[in-house]
Chains A and B, each alone.
Chain A
Amino acid sequence: MPKTKIDVPGEVHFLSILNEYGNLDKTLEPDIAEDVLLKLYHYLLLGRRFDERLISLQRQGRIGTFPPISGQEAAHLGAVATMRPSDWMVPSFRETAAELWRGRTLESVILYNNGYNEGVRIPESSNDLPVSVPVGSQILHAVGLGYAIKYRQKDDVVMTFFGDGATSEGDFHEGLNFAGVFQTPVIFVCQNNQWAISMPRSKQTRSKTLAQKALSYAVPGIQVDGNDILAVYAAAQEAVASARSGEGSTLIECVTYRMAVHTTADDPKRYRTDEEVAEWQKRDPLVRFQKYLKDKGLLTDDGIEATEAEITEKIQNAVDSAEEEMKSLGNPLDMFDHAYAELPPRLIEQREALARELEEIQKESNHG
């Protein structure tokens, strides 16, 4: 038998619609209603300003360590904007703007970042899972949700998020393979922000793209300019439509950049140059989209100022109300809540022991 070439199906495309100079490819421009465009702008800006505020709160010791999103707002917002409220979002930990879009409150983000379990509560109106810190681990949950949706013959879809580093974890590969085998309605969104803490994308894998990893599992993969919200939106819209119509999964690699620290405990000066950051600063997703909206006549300088003012107030109110709420939280006994549907006897004993101890401490401090 001769050695013959096998035609392996699949190819990888790169999609860019609104480039870093703000130039638009009109033939590819997605048809997005004006109010949605403005809402996207609002959340892009909210994501950015909220991030900045969280960093300053962290520096002042008013919240703990957290992972900033600056520079990546378009990559996750553009994707979730194509979903219906009844769809599911399965996040990792760097999609705050998308979570806000989906209905998570600013207050809950502050509570979570300040170490209150109350901050992981998902609003009843939303189907989203809470953030997932163990890298890549949430990807398979999305596939399970997708399988269940299909089994129940619903037409909802699931969108899961993860970083470039996560593509090295087994869970990522298992997730894609399961999605391929079971043809689940799952959209895999990789925010390739070029870094996994100190590991550059080039050392994470020798593959040219992350999108191509899907091909070995017979799942289509596409790479998009993740700082171009129109490209992210267009790719996600197509992937969502295909998942909804029963055609299975897609992997979307959003090429973006982590403008800030990995978390507030990290010092990027140890591993990357200021020049690199400056280079990416020029590709800021926010500036680009602002120009697009202005060119379209949807946004004026006054409009921008008004949005800024509205957002500043929204954030201030959220910080105030979260800090107010925290005063009434923190009862240590609450840590036993939600351990099980029903607290087992041993835990009831432990809870009572702690309650007695707290009472005694209270008495002692009254005496002292």
Chain B
Amino acid sequence: MAKMTMVQALNLALSQEMEKDDSVMVLGEDVGVDGGVFRVTDGLIDKYGDQRVIDTPLAEAGIVGMSIGMAVYGLRPVCEIQFSGFSYQNFHQIENHASRLRWRSQGRFHVPMVLRTPYSGGVRALEHHSESREAYYAHTPGIKMVIPSGPRNARALLISAIRDPDPVIFYESKALYRAFREEVPEEEETFPIGTSQIVREGTDLTMISYGTMMRPALEAASILQEKDGVETEVIDLLTISPLDDALFVQSVHKTGRAVVIHEAPGSFGPGAEIVSRIMEKAFFYLEAPIERVTGYDIIIPLFSRENSYIPSAQRIVRAAKKVLST
């Protein structure tokens, strides 16, 4: 076991899958010689060569469209879109083709590709480099949307994503890339896509979140316990779509109270779907209205104000207290 950052853990996943399966390919802007602007693909070109680690021209539609073709042929492309803010240039390829080729060919073809891309704010980045738009992808039938929250689950989920028979959008939090290290076992580890996880057990309140927001959520849970003796159950979704509602519904059966947290704008965000599932499946267990703590319905401001936009542990504690007081 070695302690790794999320960047190193993702690199390990790619490297091990490429070692094991020569159909796994990496392509994107600056992923080869430069090793990716965040260094996730560092060193892969030296190990696996430029036929499999492909520095492409600057064209996102090209990268994703080509990945679809490679996947149809039987390869396992893992493409990188340098920042999710530039994945709209390739959105039509996801919406029109990656998500529906299985359906459009009545099962004859499928698109086992992964699109890795960094999302979220909190790193003083340039304009267009801080958005969280997982809802676009979660809203698109036919694709899977995964967002890990730490080095170990990032590594395991990426391997599962590569082996998944359907297209997976894999959002990586820039704020978590180097935020902390975790033990990551050398031997292979996978994690089933479409499965969430309880990361802290509790009986008074359920918090549901994912990605960057797991840290403020867990911090809020600690504050609530220390200051008020509240036992919070914290659930890490890990996969946004298909949404694993069984675990959080079960948790709400127990706690009767829930707070949903994400950095993306609130309106029409994943939180809206999560709350609806609770209403559908746990309404009679609820003791209080559910609260959402999310980004505001505006474009995330340039970085001098981003910390006021991004949900903080304090904001989550406030929402939790509101839920607990009814």
Asked if residues B128 and A133 are in contact (CB atoms below 8 Å), the reply is: yes
- Interface-forming stretch among B16-24, B52-60, B230-238? B52-60
CA of A168 to CA of B58, assembled, Å: 5
Q: Does A277 contact B (CB under 8 A)?
A: no
Whether the Cβ atoms of B55 and A199 lie closer than 8 Å is yes
C-alpha spacing A263/B303, complex, angstroms: 16
The docked-state distance in angstroms from the alpha carbon of A294 to that of B75 is 62
Q: Which of B17-65 contact A (CB under 8 A)?
A: 29-30, 32-35, 37, 55, 57-62
A residues in contact with B34, CB < 8 Å: 197-198, 270-271
Among B29, B58, B309, B314, point to the contact of A335 (Cβ < 8 A). B309
Does A354 have its Cβ within 8 Å of any Cβ on chain B? yes
The interface-forming segment of A110-118, A217-225, A233-241, A244-252 is: A110-118
Q: Does B250 contact A (CB under 8 A)?
A: no
A96 to B: closest C-beta gap in Å: 14
Closest to A163 in B: B58
Chain A interface residue count, CB cutoff 8 Å, equals: 48
CA distance A250 to B202 in the complex (A): 67
B305 near A170: Cβ-Cβ < 8 Å = no
Known: A168-B57, A170-B89, A270-B33. A350 touches B297 (CB 8 A): yes
Residues of B within 8 A of A203 (CB): 55, 57
**Number of B interface residues, CB 8 Å?**
41
| Residue A205 interfacial (CB < 8 Å) | yes
Please tell me if A265 contacts chain B, counting CB pairs below 8 Å: yes
User: Which of A169, A346, A357 interacts with B297 by CB under 8 Å?
Assistant: A346
Contact residues in A for B89 (Cβ distance below 8 Å): 134, 137, 169-171
Given A64-B124, A134-B86, verify A357-B62 contact (CB < 8 Å).
no
A213 to chain B, nearest CB (A): 13
Closest B residue to A340 by CB, please name it: B298
B306 within 8 A of partner (CB): yes
User: Across the interface, which residues of A come within 8 angstroms of B33, CB to CB?
Assistant: 198, 270-271
Query: Are the C-beta atoms of A64 and B126 separated by less than 8 Å?
Result: yes
| B304 contacts A by Cβ under 8 Å | yes
CA distance A265 to B296 in the complex (A): 28
Contact call B29/A115, Cβ cutoff below 8 A: no
**Is A166 located at the chain interface by the 8 A CB criterion?**
yes
In the complex, the answer to whether A347 meets B30 with C-beta atoms within 8 Å is: no
The stretch from A71-79, A121-129, A313-321, A326-334 touching chain B is: A326-334
Question: Which of A171, A197, A360 is the one whose CB lies under 8 Å from B37?
Answer: A197
A127 to chain B, nearest CB (A): 21
Q: B96: CB under 8 A from chain A?
A: no
Kindly identify which residue among B30, B296, B305 contacts A350, using a CB–CB cutoff of 8 Å.
B296
B62 and chain A: residue at smallest CB distance: A168
A278 located at the interface, meaning its Cβ lies under 8 Å from any Cβ of chain B in the complex:
no
- Give every chain B residue within 8 A of A135 (Cβ-Cβ): 58, 86
Instruction: Collect the chain A residues with CB atoms within 8 Å of residue B225's CB.
Output: none
B272 at the interface (CB under 8 A from A): no
Contact B305 A334, beta carbon cutoff 8 Å: yes
Report whether B55 and A335 are in contact in the complex, using a CB–CB cutoff of 8 Å.
Answer: no
Q: State whether the Cβ of A65 lies closer than 8 Å to any Cβ in chain B.
A: yes
Q: Of A134, A136, A335, which contacts B296 at CB under 8 A?
A: A335
A36 at the interface (CB under 8 A from B): no
Say yes or no for B254: interface residue by CB 8 A criterion: no
Given A64-B303, A270-B33, A357-B315, residue A336 in contact with residue B128 (CB < 8 A): no
Interface residues of A (CB under 8 A from B): 64-66, 112, 114-117, 119, 133-137, 165-166, 168-171, 196-199, 203-205, 263, 265-266, 270-271, 326, 329-330, 332, 334-336, 339, 346-347, 350-351, 354, 357, 360-361
14 pairs, CB–CB < 8 Å, chain A vs chain B? A115-B124, A115-B305, A133-B85, A135-B86, A136-B58, A168-B57, A168-B59, A170-B61, A171-B89, A199-B58, A330-B304, A332-B309, A335-B301, A357-B318
